[in-house]
Structure 1
Amino acid sequence: MQPKPRTAYLAGYPAELTAQVDALIAAGKMGALLRKKYPQAHTVRTDKALYDYVQAMKSDYLRNAAPLSRVAYDGKLQELRNALGTHARISRVQGGRLKAKREIRVATVFRDMPEDFLRMIVVHELAHLKEPDHDKAFYQLCCHMEPNYHQLEFDLRVYLSHLEAGGDPLWGGN
């Protein structure tokens, strides 16, 4: 039986890999490694800037997908839903018509992270516009939009593990 990683963020990864991450976190070296690989935070700070950022990616890769009515940072997302991003389809009856809206919410923890991490979570949520489940087609679409998707997801999980273990935020106020 595999030893349980110290953090839920790394569940599902091989024990050898999680042991290396745990050792680097315990030695206080993980922050420096991540900071070297991702030296600075992005400049997408407002909800409007995030909306524009997401729309640009959507127009590059998912032109025919349903339009987004809202994209915003959500301060309660990580605590309430234990999620880093969400996508929602909201349907309302107006008169005799059914109106559907789609929105994406990104945890505010991404406001002070490198652009690579923001791009990874946006790619993830945009992929849900076409593929609702986390299946092979979903991850193929993620990799189409961001070829380095899996490495970015792992690095983000490592950073979140670093924070969970009491490490200092590397790019801002998180």
Structure 2
Amino acid sequence: MQKLKYLQGYPDQLVGQVSQLVEQGNLKRYLLRKYPEQHTIQSEKALYDYVIEIKNQYLRKSSPVSKVAYDGKIHMVNHALGMHSFVSRIHGNKLKAKNEIRVSTIFKQAPLPLLRMIVVHELAHIKEKDHNKAFYQLCCHMEPGYHQLELDARLLLTQLEIDGPLYN
């Protein structure tokens, strides 16, 4: 049985089911059946607009997001899928804060629900810095299927590692 590094911490029964999909060569088929199309948000401007739309819907009163970008270095360097950075700078007597969100370029060729899950995760960090109960409650408020989408993102990463891109 192949080690499924993206599924560490999940129940053995679930890991066994995914292992079976992998061994039978059916993981890609499973993902394509569930997510037949990749999203069309390819430019950083489109990604920024998408993030701001979600932010304005759920986190209207929170700090603004100054930059949103796809980043090809995230997955390799940080073992992450997205990053939220908060930078504070003193300008005279004022404290200026900037929120930046970076999304791994892996998600340029992903289904829209999985991109949304990453965006929701990074937006939740604006209000909750740590991965605690309040953080995950906020994620589930913004995306009710958050936990399933997180699992599916891990399945996508497994697919990428084993058999390459989901969409050709």
TM range (shorter): over 0.9
Aligned to 1:147: 144
Count of aligned residue pairs for this structure pair: 168
2:55–2:123 contact (8 Å) kept in structure 1:
yes
The one-letter code sitting in structure 2 at the alignment partner of 1:171 is Y
Q: Report the secondary structure of 1:54's partner residue.
A: helix
Moved over 3 A (4+): none
Structure 1 residue 163: deviation in Å? 1.9
Amino acid at match of 2:167: W
Q: TM-score, normalised by structure 1?
A: 0.92
Distance 1:30 1:95 in 2: 56
Contact 2:160 2:166 in 1 (8 A): no
Q: Does 1:92 align with 2:89?
A: yes
> Matched residues in 1 for 2:41 and 2:127: separation?
25
1:82 aligns with 2:95: no
2:65 is equivalent to residue 58 of structure 1? no
Alpha-carbon separation, structure 2, partners of 1:65 and 1:85: 19
Q: 1:5–1:18: 8 Å Cα contact kept in structure 2?
A: no
Alpha-carbon shift at residue 96 of structure 1 (Å): 3.1
1:47 to 44, 59, 73: 44
Q: CA RMSD in A?
A: 1.4
Which of residues 104, 109, 117 is equivalent to 1:107?
A: 104
Q: Deviation of residue 131 (structure 1)?
A: 0.9
Q: Which residue of 2 aligns with 1:20?
A: 17
Residue type at the aligned position of 1:112: Q
Report the secondary structure of 2:157's partner residue: helix
Q: CA deviation at 1:162?
A: 1.9
- Work out whether 1:119 is the aligned partner of 2:116: yes
The residue number in structure 2 matching 1:171 is 167
Asked if structure 2 preserves the Cα contact closer than 8 Å seen for 1:5 and 1:11, the reply is no
- Identity within the alignment, %: 55
Deviates more, 1:31-40 or 1:97-106: 97-106
Alignment-mate amino acid for residue 65 of structure 1? S
* 8 A contact 2:159–2:166 mirrored in 1: no
Structure 1 gaps of 5+ residues are: none
Give the TM-score normalised by the residue count of structure 2. 0.96
- C-alpha distance after superposition, 1:89-118 (max 9, x if no partner): 111222333211110000000001000000
